[in-house]
Amino acid sequence: MIWAAGGFLVLLVAGTPIVLALGIAALLAIELTTTAPISIVAQRVYGGISSFTLMAIPFFVASGLLMEAGGIARRFVNLAGALVGWITGSLYLVSIVTGTGLAAISGSGSADTAAISAVMTPEMRRRRYDIDLAAAVIAASGSLASIIPPSIVMIVIAVTANQSIGAMFLGGILPGILVAGSMMVGCWLHARRGGEAYRDTAGFSLGRLWAGLKDAGPGLLVPVVIIGGIVGGIFTATEAACVALFVTLFVTLVIYREITPADLPRIFLRAISLSATVLIIISTAAVFTWIIATQGFPAMLRDWLTGITDSPWVFLLIVNLLLLVIGMFMESISAVLILLPILLPIAQGYGIDPVQFGIVTALNLSIGLITPPYGICLYVASSVAGRRIEQVSRRIWLPLGCMLLVLLLVTYVPTISLWLPSVLL
């Protein structure tokens, strides 16, 4: 146990890729403390990735990358501009609405952040917006991708927790809308007290809204297919992901035509390598969690926690703090894979619904995407804006505060995450 956990932390700090740090630490622990044959490592690695459900990940990643290469971000920005462009502080609101829309077709926060930043940052700079706050808001808008379906993190959570992906996806919808809504209110309140720049808005026009809808409409087919297919019991999540991929191919190649079939190998290879980074961590984490479990660590932690408190409220508070801190330093997928198998049985012991617990985990880790020092969305938004992470971090409080508020709500009001799955599935 000491070898596995200690070895992992040392390797992590030394800059070893997480996928290898997990494997090496597990191998160290197996070699030094057990007599298990070494072929067990290969077996666990295989067991970790041999899953039909996980196939949804490469499909969703490919369809998200295709949409972004096909020019969906600009179309969503236009639609969002028609929807909320007339409100004070319009560009903040447009970024948030665009982030919500992109989150519904892609599962990757960093890719969404890059797409929104590329379109919105020049415009925000031109209109003399506070560029650090702008980058912070864009980072938070991009991070919605891990809460709003389809979400790669949610798939990993569902597979790890042995829950239905459909239930997790539906459970994420309301929390995602709450985060987007609270950030919009927060930005609007901030902009009302702000300078003249924020009052430079375009008037509302139905014609513009209609034009925006027509242009962005085909892209909106993707969430319709995914959610409709899962809710209607037509597809499994893997099948929905596959259909979403074909719909995306049709929309980008036939309707939008900003990419050609010649671009496909490049885009698909990127999708393959990006999704492999997720799936291969699942395989080495399988070895790691196995060795941790055989050495009785989860039971130790459970006894320790139940010794401290028998209140699920206090337990959830401790979990939130733990996940927030871990999210600051670690990437979401590996955090889920290491922590969820340990925390979930304890949560169920306190009578907490696994779907709600999964949503709380996802929300915490999406906050981890925008908190320094290691927040991938914060990182992407800052670098596109040409600002240092420290500068943007100083303005992170507004979007971060909104997300924390929603996190508290979702933690202590289970209905928010459980209502939609219970009504629709």
Partner 1 sequence: MPGRKTDGGDRAAPRSPILTIPCLALRALRRLVDGVALLLIAYMACAILAQIVGRYFFNYSIAWSEETATFAQIWLTLLGAGIAMRHNQHVGVDVLVRRLPVWVQRLCGGAGFVMGVWFLATVVVGSLAMVAIGFIVKSPALRLPMAVPYTALPVGFGYFLLEFVLATLPRVIHPERAAAEADETETAA
d(CA 368, CA 20) in angstroms, rounded, equals: 22
- Which of 195, 228, 349, 373 touches partner 1 (CB under 8 A)? 373
Residues 75-134 that bind partner 1 (CB under 8 A): 107-111, 114
Q: Is 47 in the site for partner 1 (CB under 8 A)?
A: no
Q: Is 250 in the site for partner 1 (CB under 8 A)?
A: no
- Which of 82, 91, 274, 363 touches partner 1 (CB under 8 A)? 274
d(CA 194, CA 389) in angstroms, rounded, equals: 23
- Which of 112, 130, 132, 331 touches partner 1 (CB under 8 A)? 331
The angle subtended at Cα 343 by Cα 342 and Cα 344, nearest 5°, is: 100
- C-alpha of 71 from chain center: 21
Q: Which residue is it, tokens 């969820």?
A: 340
Residue 172 belongs to what H/E stretch? helix 165-192
Q: Is 3 in the site for partner 1 (CB under 8 A)?
A: no
Residue 166 to residues 241, 312, 419: CA-CA distances in angstroms?
A: 12, 26, 13
Q: Is 418 in the site for partner 1 (CB under 8 A)?
A: no
- Which of 46, 204, 313, 397 touches partner 1 (CB under 8 A)? 46
Q: Is 69 in the site for partner 1 (CB under 8 A)?
A: no
Among residues 276 and 409, whose Cβ is nearest to partner 1?
276
Q: How far is the CB of 384 from partner 1 (least distance, A)?
A: 9
- Which of 269, 308, 325, 408 touches partner 1 (CB under 8 A)? 269
- Which of 4, 29, 55, 398 touches partner 1 (CB under 8 A)? 55
Q: How far is the CB of 97 from partner 1 (least distance, A)?
A: 22
Q: How far is the CB of 266 from partner 1 (least distance, A)?
A: 10
Among residues 268 and 419, whose Cβ is nearest to partner 1?
268
Closest CA to 223 of 64, 2, 403: 64
d(CA 67, CA 49) in angstroms, rounded, equals: 27
Please identify, among the stretches 56-64, 133-141, 178-186, 311-319, the one whose residues bind partner 1 according to the rule CB under 8 A.
56-64
Residue 230 to residues 59, 171, 225, 238, 418: CA-CA distances in angstroms?
A: 16, 13, 8, 10, 16
Please identify, among the stretches 129-137, 146-154, 201-209, 313-321, the one whose residues bind partner 1 according to the rule CB under 8 A.
146-154
Share of the chain residues as helix, strand and coil, in percent rounded to the nearest 5: 80, 0, 20
Residue type, 43: Q
Q: Is 153 in the site for partner 1 (CB under 8 A)?
A: yes
Q: Is 380 in the site for partner 1 (CB under 8 A)?
A: yes
Q: Is 294 in the site for partner 1 (CB under 8 A)?
A: no
Q: Is 68 in the site for partner 1 (CB under 8 A)?
A: no
Residue 224 to residues 10, 58, 229, 283: CA-CA distances in angstroms?
A: 45, 19, 8, 32
- Which of 3, 59, 129, 169 touches partner 1 (CB under 8 A)? 59
- C-alpha of 103 from chain center: 9
d(CA 363, CA 30) in angstroms, rounded, equals: 34
Q: Is 239 in the site for partner 1 (CB under 8 A)?
A: yes
- Which of 3, 4, 8, 11 touches partner 1 (CB under 8 A)? 11
Q: Is 13 in the site for partner 1 (CB under 8 A)?
A: yes
Please identify, among the stretches 19-27, 73-81, 300-308, 415-423, the one whose residues bind partner 1 according to the rule CB under 8 A.
19-27
Q: Is 14 in the site for partner 1 (CB under 8 A)?
A: yes
d(CA 412, CA 251) in angstroms, rounded, equals: 41
Q: Is 61 in the site for partner 1 (CB under 8 A)?
A: yes
Q: How far is the CB of 357 from partner 1 (least distance, A)?
A: 19
- Which of 265, 307, 351, 423 touches partner 1 (CB under 8 A)? 265
d(CA 128, CA 131) in angstroms, rounded, equals: 8
Q: Is 20 in the site for partner 1 (CB under 8 A)?
A: yes
Q: Is 357 in the site for partner 1 (CB under 8 A)?
A: no
Residue type, 291: I
Closest CA to 334 of 12, 6, 2: 12
Residue 84 to residues 87, 88, 144, 187, 230: CA-CA distances in angstroms?
A: 6, 9, 18, 12, 30
Among residues 54 and 410, whose Cβ is nearest to partner 1?
54
Q: Is 201 in the site for partner 1 (CB under 8 A)?
A: no
